[in-house]
Amino acid sequence: MFIIIFYFIISIINAQSIENRILYKINSEIITTIDVFNEIRYLKALNPQTKSLKDRDLLEIAKNSIIKEKVKKLEVLKYYQKIQIEEDYLNEVIKSSYNKININSYEELVNHLKKFNVSAENIKEKISIEILWNQLIFKQFSSKISIDKEKIKSEIENNNLKQEVRSFQLSEILYNVNNNSEFKSKTKEIISSIDEIGFENTALKFSISETSNLGGELGWVKENSINKNILSFINDLNVNDYTKPILTPSGFLILKINDIKIEKMKVNIEDEIQKIIVLKTNEQLNQFSNIYYNKIKKNIIIDAI
């Protein structure tokens, strides 16, 4: 079935008009050829690197992206009456999520994606689903978040004795496996993909992290904000190097160093504590999000039509 769908989609990727057919049914939600076509355009708008991807890879990425969105939507609608977010809050989320591609408002995002013929309503629903999903995860798991404020304070004070501190511009690939044999084969496949199509496109193709649609980009992170175990994997790496797979509660993590900068260490300790608390809280919530998603997906039937 996938081969038939593949050749059908590939035949219309560059077409001006598309016959809209149902490809998948996910409980009460459907995925059509138009959905896949629009998702491909959306991914191309966010990631110029997708131009180097093969059609088969781009199709697979788009399909997986839509399935993930539909699964989240079904779960969100169990707790919220409709997919709707207040406009000002929507803008704030966009500003924090898309500033990596120099977009700071909903209007800017709409204008950017219009160049790729992606509709404003489609954008709004995508972002609204993600916001409501994150709110759901917070409600479900906020009581399980564990942050040692005194330990953070102690580490910052010790680092503050240094004259300089490193910051890393990082990208990530996060993936899950079921056993040791699958770990070996999946890791080999990912490393081969990095060599062939680059880290960013491989993140698009394989990563289960929320950063995958942006090529896995995490942005700049100070070394005193990074978990000590993870820091030990990147300490001796150079720019453009990437780590071996690191076992985390969410799965196996590969980090790439895009850039390194050294800054003078003059910080407001209380401000820095709050920044790290937010960073570590988001890190734990992302772990809970991946675990929860994998759990609910097992109970959802995905049928190819």
DSSP assignment of 153-171 equals HHHHHHHTTSSEEEEEEEE
DSSP class of 259: E
Compute the average pLDDT of residues 122-132: 88
| Residues 95 and 131 reside in one and the same domain | yes
Contacts of 54 (CB under 8 A, 6+ apart): none
| Residues 134 and 157 reside in one and the same domain | no
CATH number of the CATH domain containing 168: 3.10.50.40
Residue 305 lies in a domain: no
Report pLDDT for 1: 45
State which of 111, 142, 173 marks the end of a domain.
142
What is the helix (H) or strand (E) element at residue 122, kind and residue range? helix 120-141
State which of 96, 123, 142 marks the end of a domain.
142
User: pLDDT per residue over 29-51, tens digit each?
Assistant: 888 888 888 888 888 888 877 87
| Residues 137 and 157 reside in one and the same domain | no
Closest Cα partner for 96 from 240, 175, 210, 201?
210
Residue 50 lies in a domain: yes
Report pLDDT for 227: 84
Q: How confident is the model at residue 141 (pLDDT cuts 50, 70, 90)?
A: very high
Q: Coil, strand or helix: which one is 218?
A: strand
| Residues 22 and 136 reside in one and the same domain | yes
Does residue 160 surpass a pLDDT of 70?
no
Q: How confident is the model at residue 18 (pLDDT cuts 50, 70, 90)?
A: low
| Residues 20 and 81 reside in one and the same domain | yes
| Residues 167 and 256 reside in one and the same domain | yes
Residue 242 lies in a domain: yes
Q: Coil, strand or helix: which one is 245?
A: coil
| Residues 179 and 228 reside in one and the same domain | yes
Q: What residue numbers bound the domain in which 215 lies?
A: 151-269
| Residues 189 and 111 reside in one and the same domain | no
Number of independent structural domains in the chain: 2
Q: Of 142 and 101, which is predicted with more confidence?
A: 142
State which of 119, 142, 165 marks the end of a domain.
142
